């Protein structure tokens, strides 16, 4: 994918794509930036979300995570990440009670969210998606817990038992794993990655960068 500006044609014809992982703080901050850009537009801009697994290199075939695997990220890395999160929080005026989420497993949330995205109307998926993000980053709830996801589903008028069944089953977990693999094949190496047509921008970029991506200004 080319990290350049779009040509500005058909700016309302398609949604903006987002590859993201719920446990990535920069994905939460990137969504805040996108919300600011969306609020400034005359026409609505929908989101086409693609799940991405930041813990793929630590994940066992059964889906569990081996936190002992060395991924090359030491404490200096995490301290720098925290500094960057705090800087962007201030820049985008975002309320967060967490700056990193190193222990929470996002796979159950991604399975539930992908199911809702593929099965229900856009607005209902978006409400569920935003509820998951806020539950983790503002309320410090464990979005890897089926009980939490069931509560969030109920809050947005989804059947909590349906969401439990999806999280506990294999069908949608397999579909999400396939989607993770597809993201890698498509050249996505980190998140958030925003796409519009053949163009892309990686990171929690400011609203004006997203405007250039979509509108080519």
Interval 136-157 mean pLDDT: 97
Please report which confidence band the pLDDT of residue 8 belongs to, taking 50, 70 and 90 as the band edges.
very low
Which domains does the chain carry?
Answer: 16-215 (3.40.30.10)
Give me the percent of the chain exceeding a pLDDT of 70: 94
* Tens digits of residue pLDDT in 56-66: 888 888 777 87
- What mean pLDDT is reported for the chain? 90
More confident residue, 78 or 215: 215
Average pLDDT over residues 159-186: 96
| Cβ proximity of 193 and 18 under 8 Å | yes
Instruction: Give the pLDDT of residue 6.
Output: 37
Average pLDDT over residues 35-49: 96
Q: Tens digit of pLDDT for each residue in 97-136?
A: 987 887 899 999 999 999 999 999 999 999 999 999 999 9
Whole-model pTM: value is 0.88
pLDDT digits (tens, 9 = 90+) for 177-212: 999 999 999 999 999 999 999 999 999 999 999 999
């Amino acid at each position: 994918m080319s990290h350049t500006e779009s040509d500005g044609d058909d700016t309302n014809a398609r949604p903006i794509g987002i590859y993201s992982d719920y446990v990535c703080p920069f994905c939460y901050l990137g969504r805040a930036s996108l919300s600011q850009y969306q609020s400034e537009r005359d026409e609505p801009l929908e989101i086409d979300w693609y799940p991405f697994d930041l813990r793929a290199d630590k994940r066992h075939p059964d889906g569990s995570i081996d936190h002992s695997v060395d991924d090359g990220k030491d404490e200096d890395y995490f301290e720098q990440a925290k500094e960057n999160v705090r800087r962007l929080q201030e820049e985008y005026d975002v309320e967060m009670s967490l700056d990193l989420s190193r222990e929470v497993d996002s796979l159950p949330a991604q399975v539930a969210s992908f199911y809702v995205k593929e099965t229900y109307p856009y607005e209902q998926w978006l409400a569920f998606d935003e509820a998951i993000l806020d539950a983790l980053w503002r309320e410090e709830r464990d979005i890897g817990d089926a009980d939490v996801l069931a509560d969030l589903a109920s809050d947005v008028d989804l059947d909590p038992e349906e969401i439990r069944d999806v999280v506990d089953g294999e069908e949608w977990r397999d579909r999400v794993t396939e989607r993770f693999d597809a993201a890698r094949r498509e050249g996505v190496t980190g998140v958030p990655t925003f796409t519009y047509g053949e163009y892309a921008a990686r990171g929690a970029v400011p609203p004006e960068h997203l405007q250039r991506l979509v509108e080519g200004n």
